[in-house]
Amino acid sequence: MGLFLTTLKQATDDYEVEEVENGFTLISRPGREGRFSEVVRRAVDRSGDDFVVFPVSDGNGGYERAVIMPTD
């Protein structure tokens, strides 16, 4: 698991982490939606060989959660 993916797996002030089968879900914390959406956009930009990202829209141009699935 790469450093970026390992870092994403750590909960922050912007999001919680929930383990799911074959990966984990990042869930935005209330009041942190803007910063959380930035994290998801960065993850989407960096996805590829190590992991894939399935972002879930909040309906307002941002994200409310993102499922991260490592490819290895």
pLDDT of residue 49: 86
Domains of the chain: residue spans and CATH: 3-70 (3.30.1360)
In this predicted structure, the answer to whether residue 1 has a pLDDT above a threshold of 80 is no
Segment 38-63, tens digit of pLDDT: 999 999 999 998 999 999 999 999 99
Q: In which band, very low, low, confident or very high, does the pLDDT at 72 lie, cut at 50, 70 and 90?
A: confident
Report how far Cα 53 is from the mean position of its chain's Cα atoms. Answer: 7
pLDDT of residue 63: 97
pLDDT of residue 69: 96
The candidate with the shortest Cα–Cα distance to 5, out of 58, 30, 42, 60, is 42
